[in-house]
Chains A and B, each alone.
Chain A
Amino acid sequence: MNPYRSLPDHAFWRRAVAGPDEVDPVASVPFTIAAADKVATAGSCFAQHIARHLSKAGFSYYVTERAHPLVAAEDAAEFNYGTYTARYGNLYTARQLLQLFDRAYGHFRPLEDVWGGEGGLIDPFRPQIQPGGFATRTEYDLDRRAHFASVRRAFESLDVLVFTLGLTESWLSREDGAVFPVCPGVSGGDFDPARHVFHNFTVDEVVADLTAFIARLRTVNPTARMILTVSPVPLVATAGDDHVLSATTYSKAVLRVAAETVSRSHRDVAYFPSYEIITGPAARGRYYAEDLRSVLEEGVSHVMRVFMRHYAKDHEAAAAPVPAPPDRVDTIGRMRELVKVACEEEALDS
């Protein structure tokens, strides 16, 4: 007799990883998600895949910042409406998520608040959100005011937040600690070593930031649940002095430990192992594209199958078709018809 004899299959590598055709690394989940639960997403670029698949999988993907119905669907996508729950762009670090909350509620106003750009103004905290930038300062201010309202609405009324931790490396303002999603000068602004500094977050810092965020979130939404994932996408580049592969391993290890620490110490916070599904030996590297960085659709589908298996509260309901949103072009289409009729009448009135 020994303690291993009574363990379930998932505790054994041969049975749980080497054996199955498709590995499912989830042992248990602390909660499930009903089809009607509002599921919000945020995080690094891998979170976009999750967001895209949630509604297809029958979950109620929660979007609080939609494009106006006059906007064509392809334009809305290009302007990042619906990429995430609100139009905040990629949030690579836990500190960004925390600062997003504080900025949305007016508790933090970064000193570096806007960047001039070629032909438009750039939001330093979502520099790729608007192709070409914002046309005027007024447009910029009003859009961000509406954006923060959408962020608050999301935080206050979501049921589940899926947050994908992406990076530990980041660039901060020396003046007030504001975290930029990308280094100033890359997608707008100008890099200034006197104002901008590189920082590689530690496990303790990530844990502290996630803990602080969860505390803040639950002040406005006490029953909010959270699922943490770690992006399997490697660093595109490191600003540290290590090799980019070592830097990636360090970064993902920090995020993985932080996610584990926080999920084990908070109620209704889960860790979901999408990282393990994509990067684990069972995948044999086949979920990565030729660049050994981009995750292929096949891998994302595997992740979502496992996600559905464990989190869909009742699969029948979750698999039911999601009601289509109101026809986006109905009003505009109706007016186009009326204008056509009016113009034909005018032309015939000769």
Chain B
Amino acid sequence: MTRRVVVLGHSHMMAIAHAALEQPEFRTIQLLDPAFDPVLAEGQINQAVIDAFLAEPFDAVALTLGGNEHVVLGLVEHPQPFDFTFVDGEDLGDAASARERVPVELVRRAIGRMLIYSRQFLEKFRALTDAPMYLLEPPPPIRSDKHLLEYGGVFIKEMEARGIAPPRLRHKLWTLQTDIYADMAAAIGVTYLRAPPEAIDPDGMLAERAWNLDATHANPWYGSLVLEQLR
């Protein structure tokens, strides 16, 4: 029997929604739809979201919540270029020491503060159903400066003014964010689904085939890989 999956979420859901167009076992709900605004008010999920979610039967649920918090901190070079250290022996060269070092715990907290809404939503949403629930990992960052500048959209002005942060830093910010997501999911009783390995290049960045025509999202091919994971 085909598993019926409902996928809810923010912008990263669009890659999945496009991929799911011809696949009736997948149903998608876009939380950025103005009809659901505000999605969460005074700690409660908007009844319109709940109604849409429960409107049809399902066997499993997947969510994409936020996901671009790492972009806030590290797509565009900060006026005070910074870095942080994950593992011993990392970045001891002169070039690295020119960047301001921030304790990793403080970067973790900065990202965590941006995820308060996602955590609240996930906690409330988990209580709505006993069905298997997945929190989808956001796609890793795009390495190519050329692509980012070509499809940067609203970020172009900032990127041109201040430059693009080094890929290594952008990847570390994404990794830190995904660690926080994974911990959050585990604490709430939701399965954390890592990004499809086929969509990740050897350096851990988003594989070129998965790049969307913007600076921060993946494309429907990436979405189709996620659907395979959920199927």
Contact = CB atoms under 8 A, between A and B. Distances in A.
A342 B10 contact: no
A136 B88 contact: yes
B198 interface: no
B105 A339 contact: no
Given A338-B154, A342-B215, A342-B216, A331 B79 contact: yes
A344 B109 contact: no
A134 B103 contact: yes
Contact of A346 (B88, B109, B113, B214): B214
A166 to B, nearest CB: 27
Contact of A139 (B14, B32, B85): B85
A281 interface: no
A49 B79 CA distance: 32
Nearest to A72: B113
Contact of A349 (B14, B107, B215): B14
B225 interface: no
Contact of A68 (B76, B82, B158, B215): B82
A136 B87 contact: yes
A350 B30 contact: yes
Nearest to B213: A349
A143 B97 CA distance: 10
B14 A346 contact: yes
A132 B105 contact: yes
Given A132-B105, A136-B85, A343-B10, A336 B110 contact: no
Contacts, number: 127
Interface in B77-98: 78-80, 82, 84-92, 97
A11 interface: no
B169 to A, nearest CB: 12
Interface residues of B, number: 51
A221 interface: no
**Interface residue tally of chain A, by bracket?**
35 or more
B88 A79 contact: no
A293 B127 CA distance: 49
B153 A135 contact: no
A243 interface: no
A27 interface: no
Contacts of A350: 14, 17-18, 30
Interface in A268-325: none
A71 B215 contact: no
B91 A335 contact: no
A69 interface: yes
Contacts of B177: none
B110 A135 contact: no
Nearest to B32: A347
A29 interface: no
A335 B76 contact: yes
Interface of B: 10-11, 13-14, 17-18, 30, 32-33, 68-69, 71-73, 75-76, 78-80, 82, 84-92, 97, 100-107, 109-110, 113-114, 153-155, 158, 212, 214-217
* Pairs of residues from A and B, 9 with the lowest C-beta to C-beta distance, nearest first: A343-B11, A347-B32, A346-B11, A139-B85, A335-B72, A136-B88, A142-B101, A68-B102, A138-B85
13 contacts: A67-B106, A71-B102, A135-B85, A135-B105, A136-B86, A138-B87, A138-B88, A139-B85, A139-B101, A145-B97, A338-B155, A346-B14, A346-B216
